[in-house]
Amino acid sequence: MVSTARKRRVLAARPDGQSLTMSIHHLPPGRIYHLALASEWRDATRADRPYRRSTLGRSLEEEGFIHCSFAGQVQTIADLIYRGRDDVVLLTIDPSRLEAEIRVENLEGGDELFPHIYGALSLDAVVASDDVRVAADGSLVVLPLIGGG
């Protein structure tokens, strides 16, 4: 159970524009995930400072949040953004350890909601970081890393 001091507010926005507010306990069960360049993750861990990259080529400061995915979304994002890259790690994040607010939302249209971290990713919230293998066709092999294959 998460202590009261560690509870974080989670905001959700539905595709129709309606906003929802929920506690961390109302996130779908389990972890959230972030695909990162290995060198950028290594830089943060070596300096013992929070991770501040949003997505490929964009910082937290530029984007305003860190893009994350639920387990069922990771492969799609890997194929869309990181296909063919051999320098990617999958960060497994425990939402209850985050200091920053999480918003579950869709900012680009469509029906699918994604978790976004509105602040730096504290190193202790990352419970695993795994190198992502590239298959012969260029796709990233992420499913075994999240228990899906």
Per-residue pLDDT of 88-118, as tens digits, reads 999 999 999 998 999 998 887 778 899 999 9
Give the pLDDT of residue 2. Answer: 32
Tally of structural domains, the chain: 1
Instruction: List, for residues 58-89, the tens digit of each pLDDT value.
Output: 999 999 999 999 999 999 999 999 999 999 99
Say if CB 58 and CB 66 are below 8 A apart: no
Could you tell me the residue range of the domain that residue 91 belongs to?
Answer: 4-146
Tell me what pLDDT residue 111 has: 82
pTM across the whole model: 0.82
pLDDT in tens, 5-63: 334 444 555 555 544 444 444 566 679 999 999 999 999 999 999 999 999 999 999 99
Q: What is the pLDDT of residue 29?
A: 63
Confidence (pLDDT) at 147: 77
**What pLDDT is stored for residue 4 in this prediction?**
31
**C-alpha separations of 116 from 24, 29, 35, 95, 136 in Å:** 13, 16, 13, 11, 31
Give the bridge partners for 134, in sequence order. 140
What is residue 121's DSSP assignment? B
R_g (Cα) of the chain, nearest Å? 15
Number of H helices, E strands in the chain: 3, 12
Class of residue 74 by CB neighbours under 10 A (exposed 0-12, middle 13-18, buried 19+): buried
The domain that holds 135 is classified in CATH as 3.20.170.20
